[in-house]
Amino acid sequence: MRLKTPEIYSVELSGTEDVGKTDTGDGKEKYRGLKDKRLELKKNHQKEELKKEVDLEDHKLSIKELERKYGTNIVTGLSSTQAAELLARNGPNALTPPKETPEIVKFPQADGAILCWIAYGIQYFNDKSSSLDSVYLGCVLALVVILTGIFAYYQEAKSTNIMASFSKMIPQQALVIRDSEKKTVPAEQLVVGDIVEIKGGDKIPADIRLLSTQGCKVDNSSLTGNLTPSLRTHDNPLEAENPWNKMSTSPVGTATGMVINTGDRTIIGQIASLASGVGHEKTPIAIEIEHFVHIVAGVAVSIGILFFIIAVSMKYYVLDSIIFLIGIIVANVPEGLLATVTVTLSLTAKRMAKKNCLVKNLEAVETLGSTSIICSDKTGTLTQNRMTVAHLWFDNQIFVADTSEDHSNQVFDQSSGTWASLSKIITLCNRAEFRPGQESVPIMKKVVVGDASETALLKFSEVILGDVMEIRKRNRKVAEIPFNSTNKFQLSIHETDDPSDKRFLMVMKGAPERVLEKCSTIMVNGQEQPLDDSTAEAFHTAYMELGGLGERVLGFCHLYLPADKFPETYSFDVDTVNFPTSNLCFVGLLSMIDPPRSTVPDAVTKCRSAGIKVIMVTGDHPITAKAIAKSVGIISANSETVEDIAKRLNIPVEQVSKRDAKAAVVTGMELKDMSPEQLDELLTDYSEIVFARTSPQQKLIIVEGCQRQDAVVAVTGDGVNDSPALKKADIGIAMGIAGSDAAKNAADMVLLDDNFASIVTGVEEGRLIFDNLKKTIAYTLTKNIAELCPFLIYIIAGLPLPIGTITILFIDLGTDIIPSIALAYEKAESDIMNRKPRHKKKDRLVNAPLAIYSYLHIGLMQALGAFVVYFTVYAQEGFRPSALINLRVEWEKDSVNDLEDSYGQEWTQYQRKYLEWTGYTAFFVGIMIQQIADLIIRKTRRNSIFQQGLFRNKVIWVGIASQIIIALILSYGLGSVSALNFTMLRPQYWFVAVPHAILIWVYDEVRKLFIRLYPGSWWDKNMYY
């Protein structure tokens, strides 16, 4: 799976970042290993450490001081011996590999395994005096344990492999100066003090202190969460200019630096270990399964012990009683369920992978379904992650540009003369270029060399005007002042493409207020007009409006340099600026935004109706964040923040009643000052929340706040710094395209298309799987009673044993497996996206109605039906039901070879044994036939089967066919293998249980009918599971 090819991405830096990312490779294991080491840390200590900013001093030191500190020389580098010494002392420059859990440990984790081994021991002990049956049973039980263990392990390993294949290790190389020579060494062998050279596109191999650079920028976005390369000078080492961090990529230029930290001591290493230190809570489905196991184990053990006591007090041998106990427990434990659940989950995981949700942890499939709060990133997840021209202002009018993914229809008025000038400025005053060799690629997907804004402008003009490069060629550039942060504008001078016009065209773009300062006229409808107060006012209104939309606004102006002063041969000098830069003609404004993905508003609405709260957490400016939140519906159209209300009513913010506001925009600064109680209050009081200007560390605080509300929290993230929050969340969702490996490793799920809408499909699948698991479990539990009753009757009434333990295993692990998996394919009964997420603590997977209905209603019916088959077989062979009561002791005696039946005939021991096996087979077939009915009724919980469609889920029919075929094979194919205790059953006995099967169906239809007719009634409460 090569998922890394950036499609929507156009900015060069992202492209290289992707390539670089592959290298961290098996990071997952690495981080896991760190966990052990970090576990000692107390939780609160951890948190402090997390929230504390990273402490690095080296960026403040001078080069001389550095050389001294690290004992190196920036020209000659370290000597090889020094390097080897350091390597031996500090270890390789790699994150600590994991302490792998020995795989064998995972094996016997199957529930009840130990019990079965004890069973085996007892059986073996018992074997000395009894037949081989006990040994067979012991072997079968052991086999079951091993097989389910292997199976569960295999499934888990398979899903882990998906991830492993996802990030294959590519050995990373570094160019290092050692012994005054440039050498290429594996990045792992870097040591502190090494002088490394970085080229554009390289991944920084370790934390380095920059020594010299040539036009080199670095993208620290995975560390700081910022999209744009940060070049600020700052006291904070993460944001300072000269130290660069491992895993960052350098998109352009070259640089030399000194390694100051390696391996686990790098900032990345620290964060990674902190991330793995954040405890990962048990997944909701794991809790549910555990709850279910408790119920089943409780029932099994209590019934088992109860009957053990009864058996002992009825003067059965203790050893016999123990075997009864095992029989009861085997009957009660759904042996096949573990495998079924695993398969069901992985089927859904596969289905989700098709929908671009790659699930790393199988259990996370369901967690997503119970999600009640989604903390989503903005950039890339909700938005398209590329600047796009959203609005234009010229001729005193704001025009809207198309921001959809393909820019297909730009509908604004392009006839104005002003537009002609503006488009020329946009085209010419732009340094961004398409990377060559992409003729066949759609414009929006072409890779561009240049920064985000210029890229946006380039693509915008390319879409509207056609070949921009051609236009630029015709208007040859003669001089240029690139953008810098002091003058905040960019200027270039071009020849015009009109051969008769010998004037030069000077075009300028920049911060609108700066650009306007330099203008004395303004172009309206293609005509230059003096810039008076009213036009300036209009400009300001437009500027504020566009700014208020959270958009980045640029101003554009131009000037035709008079041909007499600036003849064709004039040489422009950008350093002395021998040309006018004032009294220009203002042309227009253009605003850009990273627009929301077109699928997101719909997805947010879906989340809403599904009762999921969507919280936006972003590092962006509050205004931008709010604008995006509004446009995608995170803040709905009619809800207001406190600030909005204050503005509308024209009163101070403090006077606004907080209850009136549904939405809130909270900045990181405000969040910092909040106590946990205040945060809780904020999270409960407002239904629509946007966190802006937050640091990734604060994300963790937000997640914890949400979890205090008993919510199941899904968090999206892409940066390294997000990984603690991703770990902490109930389900961490990493971005497949933009995400760093650290984030992907910490996450439970990876969104391959970075699209928020995929989360919603995931939620739907998660909810469906919960419902279907309920059905599967109900189906599996039902037959337990039918398997249990024989033992109870056997002990109490002394009938010949109706069904053997091995036969029970053949139901649990044979006929029932495929049908219970088939239920995973069942479609949803109603719109599952229109109900509230399930409450983690109240809506259990296995609730009382489910257990009671399965055990005491359907289960009992099944038992009765199976007994009818059993009694039929015995009666027709000569033992009427009345003769069977209390026959057990004589029946089982080996020495009794003339046991009299109801007709006076006498039976040898083997003849009886064979009849007993026929009884097993009959009981087995009885259960199997009724399990078919059970399977059909379990298709729905509320709707009638006929509403759901009997044939819509074809897999159910595969399941039914498998049930019948396995039973046929067991009876007719393996009927002669005595160890399996099956015999060839007369064909008519297969139909004896059919009336009971029909009864089950009818009864369940009646149940569902009443549930639908009387919602909320006593019936509904007690019979709906």
Active site residues: 377
Any residues with CB less than 8 A from the CB of 544 and at least 6 apart, and which?
Answer: none
Q: How far is the CB of 358 from other proteins (least distance, A)?
A: 46
Cβ atoms of residues 493 and 519 within 8 Å: no
Stretch of 35-43, 158-166, 765-773, 1012-1020 contacting other proteins, by CB under 8 A: 1012-1020
Nearer to other proteins, 560 or 991 (CB): 991
Compare residues 171 and 904 and give the one whose CB is closer to other proteins.
904
**Which among 559, 566, 558 has a CA at the least distance from the CA of 502?**
566
Instruction: Read off the DSSP letter of residue 1016.
Output: T
Burial of residue 315 (number of CB atoms within 10 Å: 0-12, 13-18, 19+): exposed
Work out whether 68 is an interface residue with other proteins (CB under 8 A).
Answer: no
Name the residue nearer to other proteins (CB basis): 31 or 982. Answer: 982
Q: Is 987 in the site for other proteins (CB under 8 A)?
A: no
Tokens linked to 78: 């370290």
Binding piece for other proteins, criterion CB under 8 A, among 274-282, 588-596, 764-772, 899-907? 899-907
Q: Helix, strand or coil for residue 213?
A: strand
Q: Does 631 bind other proteins (CB under 8 A)?
A: no
Nearer to other proteins, 575 or 898 (CB): 898
Please say whether the beta carbons of 518 and 579 come within 8 A.
Answer: no
Nearest 10 degrees: Cα torsion 664, 665, 671, 673: -80
How many residues bind other proteins (CB under 8 A)? The answer is 48
Query: Which DSSP helix (H) or strand (E) runs through 328?
Result: helix 318-332
Burial class (CB in 10 A: 0-12, 13-18, 19+), 79: middle
Specify the residue, 427 or 981, whose C-beta has the smaller distance to other proteins: 981
Q: For residues 638 and 882, which CB has a smaller minimum distance to other proteins in the complex?
A: 882
Q: Applying CB under 8 A, which part among 126-134, 719-727, 789-797, 1008-1016 lies near other proteins?
A: 1008-1016
Phi first, then psi: give them for residue 709, nearest 5 degrees. Answer: -85, 10
Dihedral pair phi/psi, residue 307, rounded to 5°: -75, -25
Of the residues 909, 942, 972, 979, which one makes contact with other proteins according to CB under 8 A: 909
Least separation in angstroms between residue 668's CB and other proteins is 43
Q: Which of 397, 410, 902, 943 binds other proteins (CB under 8 A)?
A: 902
Asked if 776 contacts 340 with a C-beta cutoff of 8 angstroms, the reply is yes
Q: Which is nearer to other proteins, 117 or 1019 (CB)?
A: 1019
Task: Kindly indicate which of the ranges 49-57, 120-128, 624-632, 903-911 contains the residues binding other proteins, using the contact rule CB under 8 A.
Answer: 903-911
Site for other proteins contains 248 (CB under 8 A): no
405, 978, 1001, 1005: which one binds other proteins (CB under 8 A): 978
Please say which residue, 215 or 904, places its beta carbon nearer to other proteins: 904
991 is an interface residue for other proteins by CB under 8 A: no
905 near other proteins, rule: CB under 8 A = yes
Pick the stretch among 296-304, 568-576, 697-705, 1015-1023 that binds other proteins (CB under 8 A).
1015-1023
Taking the C-alpha atoms of residue 925 and residue 442, their distance in angstroms, rounded to an integer, is: 63
Residue 910 beta carbon to other proteins: minimum distance, rounded to whole angstroms? 4
The interface with other proteins within residues 854-893 (CB under 8 A) comprises 856-857, 860-861, 864, 867-868, 871-872, 875-878, 880-881
Which region among 260-268, 342-350, 517-525, 906-914 touches other proteins (by CB under 8 A)? 906-914
CB of 1 or CB of 1002, closer to other proteins: 1002
Shortest distance, position 889 Cβ to other proteins, whole Å: 12
Shortest CB 366 distance to other proteins, Å = 32
Quote the distance between the C-alpha of residue 323 and its chain's center.
46
Spatial CA neighbour of 703 closest among 262, 376, 355: 376
Query: Shortest Cβ distance from residue 858 to other proteins (Å)?
Result: 11
Query: Quick check: 908 binds other proteins (CB under 8 A)?
Result: yes
To other proteins, the closest distance from the beta carbon of 915 in angstroms equals 6
Q: How far is the CB of 941 from other proteins (least distance, A)?
A: 19
| Amino acid letter for position 561 | L
Task: Determine the angle formed by the axes of helices 113-127 and 133-166, rounding to 10 degrees.
Answer: 150
Q: How far is the CB of 877 from other proteins (least distance, A)?
A: 5
Residue selected from 81, 709, 897, 944 as contacting other proteins according to rule CB under 8 A: 897
Nearer to other proteins, 135 or 860 (CB): 860
Of 709, 834, 947, 1022, the one binding other proteins (CB under 8 A) is: 1022
Q: Which residues pair with 252 in a beta bridge?
A: 217
Assess 436 for contact with other proteins (CB under 8 A).
Answer: no
Q: Does 92 bind other proteins (CB under 8 A)?
A: no
**Closest to other proteins by CB, 600 or 915:** 915
E-strand spans in 984-1024? none
- 789 within 8 A of 863, measured Cβ to Cβ: yes
Please report, as a single letter, which amino acid is at residue 407: H
Indicate the residue type of 362. L
Contacts of 843 (CB under 8 A, 6+ apart): none
User: Around 528, how many Cα atoms within 13 Å sit in the side-chain half-sphere?
Assistant: 12
Whole-number Å distance between alpha carbons of 434 and 939: 56
> Does residue 911 belong to the site contacting other proteins (CB under 8 A)?
yes
974 lies in the site for other proteins, by CB under 8 A: no
Closest CA to 995 of 827, 869, 843, 815: 869
> Among residues 414, 514, 906, 1009, which is the contact residue for other proteins, using CB under 8 A?
906
CB 880, min distance to other proteins, A = 7
* Least distance (Å) between residue 885 CB and other proteins: 14
Contacts of 523 (CB under 8 A, 6+ apart): 394, 417, 418, 421, 529, 585, 586, 587, 588
Sequence-ordered list of residues with C-beta below 8 angstroms from that of 345, at least 6 positions apart, any chain? 285, 362, 363, 365, 366, 769
Q: How far is the CB of 803 from other proteins (least distance, A)?
A: 17
Least distance to other proteins from the beta carbon of 778, Å? 18
Binding of other proteins at residue 1014 (CB under 8 A)?
yes
- Nearest of 380, 366, 352, 377 to residue 162 by alpha carbon: 352
Residue 700 phi, psi (nearest 5) = -60, -40
Structure tokens at 58: 């080296």
Residue choice 102, 436, 898, 987 for contact with other proteins (CB under 8 A) = 898
Binding mask 774-813 for other proteins (x = CB under 8 A): ----------------------------------------
Q: Which of 722, 652, 931 is nearest to 819 (CA)?
A: 931
Q: Which is nearer to other proteins, 886 or 905 (CB)?
A: 905
> Which region among 558-566, 655-663, 758-766, 1007-1015 touches other proteins (by CB under 8 A)?
1007-1015
Q: Is 317 a binder of other proteins (CB under 8 A)?
A: no
Instruction: Enumerate the β-bridge partners of residue 504.
Output: 495, 561
Q: What are phi and psi of 212, to 5 degrees?
A: -145, 155
- Tell me how far apart the 2 most distant CA atoms of the chain are, in Å: 134
Question: Please, which residue, 674 or 994, has the CB nearer to other proteins?
Answer: 994
- Write down the residue that tokens 């997840």 correspond to: 381
What dihedral do alpha carbons 752, 756, 759, 764 form, nearest 10°?
A: -130
Q: Does 173 bind other proteins (CB under 8 A)?
A: no
Q: How far apart are the first and last CA of the chain?
A: 41
CA distances 902 to 922, 923, 1023, Å, are: 20, 21, 43
Which spans of this chain sit near other proteins (rule: CB under 8 A)?
Answer: 856-857, 860-861, 864, 867-868, 871-872, 875-878, 880-881, 895-898, 900-911, 914-915, 978, 986, 992, 995-996, 999, 1010, 1013-1014, 1016-1019, 1021-1022
